[in-house]
Amino acid sequence: MKKIIPLEKNVLIKLEEVDKITESGIILPEKNENEKYQQGQVVSVGESNDINSKIKTGIKVIFEKYEITEIKDGENKFVLLKSKHILAIVG
């Protein structure tokens, strides 16, 4: 992977795979694969004092669907977004 370093208030997130089968065993149609992701793991954080101290490398977060820049590196998918678009930390 090329080294991507977010600047200022931006955060780089590696997207998680979308489950094709629900917990109850329902198989989701392929069209769901094109749905926007909303969850991933923080890979890198910009150097700004305005970024919440809880947003650190390695944590899982939920973010807004449409305020992102998508990046693909081989099979890996990433998004770059402003830290204010992170909605929650998954614990």
Give the mean pLDDT of 73-80: 90
Q: Which of 36, 46, 45, 42 is nearest to 66 (CA)?
A: 36
The domain 10-90 is placed in CATH, from the list 2.30.33.40, 1.20.120.530, 3.40.50.300, 3.90.550.10, at 2.30.33.40
Q: Which of 88, 87, 78, 82 is nearest to 37 (CA)?
A: 78
The DSSP letter of residue 67 is S
Report pLDDT for 28. Answer: 72
Q: CB count, 10 Å around CB of 60? A: 15
Report pLDDT for 18. Answer: 65
Query: What pLDDT, in 10s, does the model give residues 12-64?
Result: 999 987 667 778 888 777 655 545 678 999 999 999 998 989 999 999 999 99
